[in-house]
Amino acid sequence: MAALSKKPVEFNQRLADLRTNGKAAEANLLTLLRELKETSGPHLQVRHWKLALEETSKMALTHWKSVIAEAKKKLAHTLKHFNDQDRHYACWLLCGVNRQFFELLDGRIPVPNPEVSFDRNYCLSYDRPLSSKALRSIAGVVRRTVNKVRRDSVCYPRTQAFHNRIDFDASCYTVRSTEDAQFLELMSLQPGKRISLRLKGRSKIRGTLQLIRDTADTYSLRVYVPQQCEEKRKTGTVIGIDLGYTEMMATSEQELLGTDLGQYFSAISDKRRKNSEGRNRMHSLFRNLLKKPNKDNLAKAERIRKHNLGRKKQRARYIRDIGVIKTIVNRELNLLFTRKTNPIKQIVVEDLSARMKVHFGKKWNRRLSGWMRGYLQERIRYKAKKHGIEVSEVNPAYSSRECPRCHCTDKKTDTGIHLSARFAGTTDMLTWLLR
């Protein structure tokens, strides 16, 4: 980044050196940044440019690694029909984010170079190199697979327009405390001037900060600090947890937690449906008024757009409603994991990451789509790790109908109580399983 502030002669010499050393992409990037710097208007300072480029490079590297991993899965069946040398060449093309991979994407035929240490192992493995026809054929198969993966499976991540974020490392801010409050001074677009923010509370601020603006035009500051976790518990009980909609969860100890959570889920879903119906009517009226443009219709359409079709208040109401649900979830988990009597050593919970394919009707499908099962699982993992509790996730498929000892399914009653459990003298699956 220091090259951007050099004189034109020194800057051009730097570009020539980069291109001579085979770093044309870096030279093109410096040229683009130099052009942006010379334009009028406020610009990001050098430190912010460096943070943005570091994050972008990490995101691009992760994307290409995902593409390569998915392409290897797609080619696994095809490579079984290749001989050892052909298979070795195909794997060499996808061995990482390297020169041959990008040459392949550019439409060229990568050829291993024995003078390069990375390619030498491949070249020394076989006495005779592959013919140009074989190289072209194998490279074509791999290239088509990679392009299909990029088109259908792994797409390049795109930043959402409403989710604006900027990072500040330790050199981009200073913390100032007074008797009344704590202030955070952030680097601005103008050198030598900082933006002072008054914080609501007091805390130890260190590391990289993230300033985020959401759709409700509210700003939040995220500070990442290392979490102090307890040591893994060696004594205690093992319980099973069944997540639900009407109640937050049911334990194997015949205890229901968060019994009012389903009412909040249903109320939020029904309220959003009612608001959406009203907004749809306003959208329809707005479009009809624009089809008949005159002075009165345009003025009325503008009033509807300004007062009835905004998303600021809608987003604020949704965040407020979701905050109530998050409070209930965290409260119940804290009470469960920090109880003094009969402490917990391990919990067994269902893995609900798979997409639900069962249809329960329009009303309940809408309600279940708002069920925050992902947030529930994330908080269970977080709270359990914090308190030193082991988490075991099991496949929920047919878990209520399968015998935990013989793994048979009782098709007659669909109760899941097989002969082994009936002879054990209990009808509760989780209690029998964990006894």
pLDDT in tens, the chain (435 residues): 567 777 778 888 888 888 887 777 778 878 877 777 777 666 777 788 788 888 888 888 999 999 999 999 999 888 888 888 888 888 888 888 888 898 898 888 888 877 776 666 666 666 677 888 888 999 999 999 999 999 888 887 765 555 577 888 888 889 988 888 889 898 888 888 888 888 887 878 888 888 887 766 677 788 877 778 888 888 888 888 888 888 888 888 888 888 888 888 888 888 888 888 888 999 999 999 988 888 888 999 889 888 888 877 888 888 888 888 899 899 999 999 888 888 888 888 887 776 666 677 788 788 777 788 888 888 999 999 999 999 888 877 666 666 655 656 655 544 444 444 444 444 444 444 444
Cβ count near 430 (within 10 Å): 19
Instruction: Pick the closest to residue 75 from 131, 7, 143 (CA basis).
Output: 143
The Cα 35–Cα 31 span in angstroms is 6
The Cα 189–Cα 8 span in angstroms is 24
Contact indicator for 285, 292 with CB cutoff of 8 Å: no
> 254 CB contacts (<8 Å, ≥6 apart)?
428, 431
HSE at residue 7, side-chain half, CA atoms within 13 A, is: 2
72 token code pair? 């290897």
pTM: 0.57
The Cα 310–Cα 151 span in angstroms is 34
Indicate if the alpha-carbon torsion angle 300, 302, 306, 309 is positive or negative. Answer: positive
Contact indicator for 354, 394 with CB cutoff of 8 Å: no
The Cα 47–Cα 276 span in angstroms is 44
